[in-house]
């Protein structure tokens, strides 16, 4: 397909490379910042533009990979070209596109992306939704050219999936940050934690989290938890976070959310 990327951030960068490697043609890369557009365009042999009026209509697909609150405005401007338009957001419903064009869908890659970190896109789950069955099938075929994991996920399901991804990815990463700050304050190296983090992540590739939970809270080791809380007494926010998470873990069971 001939594809135009609207956006030059993390998601757009990885999608552009995956499509290029699969033999698709990246026609243009748009960004409000021409330097950003030019950098990505250079790597995928595309034209860089910073004005949507300069869009080449000789494209098969527009992929909008920008901040959620800008998707609707961009879709409205692109609808006049009567081409297939998709967005890549996990939290935004398909309706933000169908308000302007019926030739639309969602192409949501469920992964955390950084421009500087390469990954095997064949392993990335791609969540597809089309405005009709024909578009859905077309997007599925396209998705299978770059990924081995393609799923039909509607807008309501995708909202829950995105929420679950925040719990599974964004929150743990913040807790890694907290752990790193605690170590730094006491002249300890974050590298000490990396094997532990890796082992924890590898376990949940084979088991359910409830089956491999470890630590003082799941053992209801009150003496250790009290000692930990005392170490955090100068930081009420972390003390509260530690206590609340510990209580939820204590209440864990295989069929629920602890105390939630």
Asked whether the predicted pLDDT for residue 194 surpasses 90, the reply is yes
Taking the C-alpha atoms of residue 175 and residue 167, their distance in angstroms, rounded to an integer, is 11
Look at residue 258 in the predicted model and tell me its pLDDT: 56
Asked whether the predicted pLDDT for residue 72 surpasses 70, the reply is yes
Taking the C-alpha atoms of residue 145 and residue 121, their distance in angstroms, rounded to an integer, is 10
Mean pLDDT of 101-123: 93
Share of the chain above pLDDT 70, in %: 97
Look at residue 117 in the predicted model and tell me its pLDDT: 85
- DSSP type of residue 251: T
Asked whether the predicted pLDDT for residue 255 surpasses 70, the reply is no
Sign of CA dihedral 28, 29, 32, 33: negative
Asked whether the predicted pLDDT for residue 77 surpasses 80, the reply is yes
Share of the chain above pLDDT 90, in %: 93
pTM of the model: 0.89
Look at residue 118 in the predicted model and tell me its pLDDT: 86
Cβ contacts of 74-83, under 8 Å, gap ≥ 24? 74/6, 75/99, 75/100, 75/101, 75/104, 76/100, 77/52, 78/6, 78/52, 81/55, 81/57, 83/57, 83/59
Look at residue 35 in the predicted model and tell me its pLDDT: 97
Least confident among 62-66, 218-222, 256-260: 256-260
Whether the Cβ atoms of residue 64 and residue 90 lie closer than 8 Å to each other = no
Look at residue 94 in the predicted model and tell me its pLDDT: 98
Mean pLDDT of 30-36: 97
* pLDDT digits 0-9 by tens, 236-248: 999 999 999 999 9
Look at residue 26 in the predicted model and tell me its pLDDT: 98
Asked whether the predicted pLDDT for residue 24 surpasses 90, the reply is yes
């Amino acid at each position: 397909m001939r594809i135009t990327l609207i956006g030059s951030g993390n998601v757009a960068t990885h999608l552009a490379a995956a499509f290029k490697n699969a033999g698709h043609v990246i026609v243009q890369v748009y960004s409000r910042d021409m330097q950003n557009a030019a950098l990505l365009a250079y790597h995928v042999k595309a034209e860089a533009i910073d004005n949507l009026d300069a869009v080449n209509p000789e494209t098969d697909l527009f992929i909008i990979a920008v901040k959620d609150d800008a998707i609707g405005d961009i879709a409205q401007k692109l609808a006049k070209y009567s081409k297939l338009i998709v967005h890549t957001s996990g939290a935004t419903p398909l309706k933000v596109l169908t308000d302007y064009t019926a030739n639309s869908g969602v192409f949501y890659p469920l992964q955390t992306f950084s421009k500087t970190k390469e990954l095997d896109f064949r392993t990335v789950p791609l969540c597809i939704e089309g405005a009709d069955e024909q578009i859905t099938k077309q997007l599925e075929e396209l998705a299978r050219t770059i990924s081995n994991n393609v799923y039909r996920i509607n807008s309501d399901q995708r909202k829950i999936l995105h929420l679950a991804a925040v719990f599974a990815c964004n929150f743990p990463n913040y807790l890694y940050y907290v752990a790193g700050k605690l170590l730094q304050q006491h002249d300890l190296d974050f590298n000490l934690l990396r094997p532990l983090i890796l082992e924890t992540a590898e376990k949940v590739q084979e088991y359910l989290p409830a089956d491999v939970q470890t630590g003082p809270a799941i053992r209801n080791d009150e003496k250790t938890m009290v000692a930990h809380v005392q170490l955090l007494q100068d930081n009420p926010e972390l003390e509260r976070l530690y206590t609340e998470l510990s209580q939820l873990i204590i209440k864990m069971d295989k069929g629920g959310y602890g105390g939630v």
